[in-house]
Amino acid sequence: MGLNDHGLVGVVMNRWGTLGPDPAKRSRGELVLEALDHAAAEAAAEALSALEPRAYRPFNLFIGDPQHAYVIRNDGVRVNSYEVPAGMHMLTSLELNDAADPRIRLHLPRFRAAEVPDPGCEQWHDWPRLLASGDSIDPGQRAGAMCFNLESGLTTLCSSLLALPRYPGPASRPQWLFAAGAPATARFEPVDLEHRRQSLSDG
């Protein structure tokens, strides 16, 4: 996950059944950096739609700016992109709002029913609590929870809350909160974006 100075955010996820790297393919993590080379989501989506699908393991890549959002989908055979309509959505390792995913089936209605956050006033309302939820439709399938810790070692390592202002600029900056651990136990703390920007420019 990354954010650039233009207010463009990129988040990459593996698609179902493709967890982990493949030494014969390029890292999916670099896709976020490629997206952040662009000033607008539309331009980033157009550029990344031209990727060679076999160069990477399958992925879902979310790209958004204050005006538009796109999903770049690579199923291993072809890469395509589509614009995300306005509204509340959830994306995991399947398709956007895919009810076949038990996490989406249980938790998307909860987010849609929750009070809309007001990040400009530092009010995230129920969202931190929802991200920390260990509830799942099937108690035996804990990976369907928003926050989980499986016997296999797969666990929720961290969590973010990120809001982009409609008109970014010096007087209106993104609001990014980060929990450096599972949100059920770790606090969401503000990311000092100005300090990070200055550190990069000094470097």
Q: What is the spatial distance between Cα 77 and Cα 140, in angstroms, rounded to a whole number?
A: 33
Domain assignments of the chain as residue spans, ordered by start: 1-95, 99-203
pLDDT digits (tens, 9 = 90+) for 89-136: 999 999 999 999 999 999 999 999 999 999 988 999 999 999 999 999
User: Residue 162: what pLDDT?
Assistant: 97
Structural contact between residues 187 and 179, judged by C-beta atoms closer than 8 angstroms: yes
User: Residue 197: what pLDDT?
Assistant: 56
197 CA to centre of own chain: 21
Q: What is the spatial distance between Cα 67 and Cα 82, in angstroms, rounded to a whole number?
A: 15
Q: Which one, of 88, 91, 136, 140, lies nearest residue 115 by Cα?
A: 88
User: Residue 169: what pLDDT?
Assistant: 62
Q: What is the spatial distance between Cα 134 and Cα 42, in angstroms, rounded to a whole number?
A: 35
pLDDT at position 196 over 80: no
Q: Which helix (H) or strand (E) holds 3?
A: strand 2-3
User: Residue 195: what pLDDT?
Assistant: 57
Q: What is the spatial distance between Cα 13 and Cα 93, in angstroms, rounded to a whole number?
A: 6
Sign of CA dihedral 152, 156, 87, 168: negative
